[in-house]
Chain A
Amino acid sequence: MNPLLPFLMAGDPSLEALPQLLSDAKALGLEAIELGLPHSDPIADGPVLQAAAQRAIARGATPLRVLESLAGLTDSPDIILFTYLNPLLQMGAERLKALLRPTPVKALLVVDLPFGEEPGFEADLRAAGYPMVPLLAPTTSIDRARQILSDRPDPGASAPFAQRFAYVVARLGVTGTGQGTDLGPVSRRVTDLKGLADRPLAVGFGLSDSRSLAAIRAMGATPVIGSALVQELADGGSLRKALSPRMVDDN
């Protein structure tokens, strides 16, 4: 099982530093990484990722420059591009596919695109090898979860984790807040979802301490670490130092 799914904001601390961060992540043995495309109006993000996006935009990390900076990178985990819809829509499917082709991007996590809203766009990208990650929230009913998982299906065991997993939102709210939340409900949710589909699950939102990460792994799911990592990197920390102790459980 993939022990950790980290999130980085492209362009923070800088676009120039991104290839080295991705290379370090690969050297740590990480199979996949979420990479945030900085957006002007990140309605699902908390203060840490909002600030990171603002810094990145101020330093010129436009969607185009982010994707161009990923072109030709091979020393990288598989990338799940974490983004809001509008920049992708403005690019258009054809241009987006052309920009993604030379990059390690394997899937898209579009926060404000529920299944069924842009069916043509989504099908086009999936056919080109860029499926949308299914998101399941605490408010998602089990019937709706079944529908989401079938609308954004598992391509099968031969596909990489990035294209197979479903993202389980651990709690109500936005990214990066609510540490210390009771993980009981998400544990029950993970059990229910495992009964629906035999695909990898990642659990995120408000996870950073070793105990929470271990608890998610004990559920048989991959914990996502986002805001805490972004903050540590912004404060000058190294990726290795931030992630190494979080990849294994203390026993």
Chain B
Amino acid sequence: MTAGFTLPTRFGAQALGGCYAPETLMQPLLDLEVAFLAASTDPSFLAELKGELRHFVGRPTPLTPAPRLAAKLGLKHLFLKREDLTHTGAHKINNALAQAILARRMGKTEIIAETGAGQHGVATASACARLGLDCTVFMGVTDMARQAPNVARMRLFGAKVVPVEAGQGTLKEAVNEALRAWAGRCDRAHYILGSALGPHPFPTLVRSFQTVIGEEARAQVLEQSGALPEVVLACAGGGSNGLGLLLPFLEDGLRRVAVEAGGHGTALGEHAARLDGGRMGVLHGCKTLLLQDEHGHTAETASISAGLDYPALGPELAALLLDGQVEVRRASDDEALSGARLLCETEGILPALESSHALALLPALAAEGVATILLGLSGRGDKDLSTYQSRLGI
């Protein structure tokens, strides 16, 4: 086990996770865990976070019944947990805001972040503007092109958006560059990682700030229907949304399902489905299921959704999957587009392409005889309008 840490750094029977960080970052990571543990029991931190989540983010988010979509698919009940209705339009703000408050407590004056779809970048830029912190966001050039509205939003919030040209210009390269930048400025900057991955304590930190999604949803579904659903369903890139929704249902006798990006094919490089094609490996500070070639080099990935286009599954979610606590399924680009269209037409809600991967699995679950489903609608689809327009021919 990693020397010096207090919290467990590993997950599951295969001891996934860990802290595979360059030595320069070890002390900042040790300091971060200390600050997180202190904040977690500090009433003033908890009160500030709770107040901001309520008055700035707009929590609790609604749990919306979707009766027309349910009827169309032959489901009895379908509930949507509406993270798309948070300020900035996705679940990412829950973690970004909490870590920004934590960073300010630690005396940090600058925030570094990576972003794929731009939702974490927008959330972080917004939180930094609100708290008066400098913000630099690293984003791959491919993602900047396909999520252009979010680049503009970040810049409006005063963040510096740094284009990352390397590799495929997607989330993996953005994380590389954010880690490098943090190593150069860790004396004054905090790195707000947006997904439940990276070196310890990030996976635990991010998950802790995201389980508010599932905690609210569990209480809301019991209040609205008097029972728990048969399936709780979420999309999974790194796993912040997946863990955030699914973990609070871990002790319940129901199916927990995470959906990965099936891209446009099943060969390595054509998807971001780590369960089918991934092997145990180390990337970005943690050991987990990783898409890689036979040399241990990270494989290329493909997905219509920038937020799911990442070669590694977060270590805790991977551990839950390997230990049989969570099922992982995949949805292709085309299935996700169909899922999005169906939600738009039946319920008048435009989902993010990431969330559309969860929607894409609904017909299959209905065909398996599932009657009640709670689905995490992780974000709204305004950022994806140009993709929807070109791919759906609108």
Contact = CB atoms under 8 A, between A and B. Distances in A.
B23 A41 contact: no
Interface in A84-114: 84-91, 111-114
Contact of B24 (A39, A139, A148): A139
A135 B331 CA distance: 43
A62 B295 contact: yes
Interface string B1-43: 1111000000000000011111111111000000000000000
Given A43-B180, A86-B296, A90-B292, A139 B20 contact: no
A112 B18 CA distance: 11
B183 A173 contact: yes
A41 B298 contact: yes
Contacts of B281: 86, 89-90
A88 B296 contact: yes
Contact of A172 (B2, B4, B183): B183
Which residue of A116, A138, A177 has the most chain B CB atoms within 10 A of its CB atom?
A116
B180 to A, nearest CB: 5
Interface string B197-224: 0000000000000000000000000000
Contacts of B285: 112
B172 to A, nearest CB: 7
B112 interface: no
Contact of A89 (B176, B179, B184, B282): B282
Contacts of A41: 172, 176, 283-284, 297-298
B185 interface: yes
A114 B284 contact: no
A135 B183 CA distance: 14
Which residue of A46, A89, A148 has the most chain B CB atoms within 10 A of its CB atom?
A89
Contacts of A139: 23-28, 186-187
B294 interface: yes
A37 to B, nearest CB: 10
A114 B295 contact: no
A86 B22 CA distance: 14
Interface string B228-242: 000000000000000
B87 to A, nearest CB: 32
A18 interface: no
Interface string A40-83: 11111110001000100100001110000000000000000000
A141 B27 CA distance: 8
Given A41-B176, A63-B296, A139-B27, A144 B282 contact: no
B284 A43 contact: yes
A72 B187 CA distance: 45
B20 A91 contact: no
Nearest to A148: B23
B27 A144 contact: yes
Contacts of B176: 41-43
Interface in B273-303: 279-285, 290, 292, 294-298
Given A86-B283, A172-B183, A113 B296 contact: no
B227 interface: no
B26 A140 contact: yes
A137 B24 contact: yes
Contacts of B172: 41
A90 B296 contact: yes
B276 to A, nearest CB: 18
Interface residues of B, number: 40
B295 A90 contact: yes
A144 B28 CA distance: 13
B22 A111 contact: yes
A112 B2 CA distance: 13
A59 B290 CA distance: 24
B250 interface: no
B166 interface: yes
A89 B296 contact: yes
A147 interface: yes
Interface string A165-203: 000010011100110000000000000000000000000
A41 B167 CA distance: 9
A195 B13 CA distance: 42
Given A41-B284, A46-B180, A112 B166 contact: no
Interface in A200-218: none
B183 A44 contact: yes
Contact of A64 (B166, B282, B295): B295
Nearest to A61: B295
Interface string B136-175: 0000000000000000000000000000001100001000
A136 interface: yes
Contact of A57 (B19, B23, B297): B297
A235 interface: no
A87 B297 contact: yes
Contacts of B183: 44, 172-174
B296 A144 contact: no
Contacts of B184: 172-174, 177-178
15 contacts: A41-B297, A44-B24, A44-B183, A84-B282, A85-B20, A87-B295, A87-B296, A112-B21, A114-B2, A116-B3, A137-B23, A138-B24, A141-B27, A147-B3, A174-B180
Interface of A: 39-46, 50, 54, 57, 62-64, 84-91, 111-117, 135-141, 144, 147-148, 169, 172-174, 177-178
Interface of B: 1-4, 18-28, 166-167, 172, 176, 179-180, 183-187, 279-285, 290, 292, 294-298
10 closest cross-chain pairs (CB), A and B: A87-B296, A173-B184, A90-B296, A40-B297, A137-B24, A139-B27, A86-B296, A135-B23, A137-B23, A44-B22
Given A89-B281, A113-B20, A172-B184, 19 more contacts: A39-B297, A40-B297, A41-B283, A57-B297, A85-B20, A86-B281, A86-B292, A86-B298, A112-B282, A116-B2, A136-B23, A137-B24, A140-B23, A169-B23, A172-B183, A173-B180, A173-B184, A174-B184, A178-B184
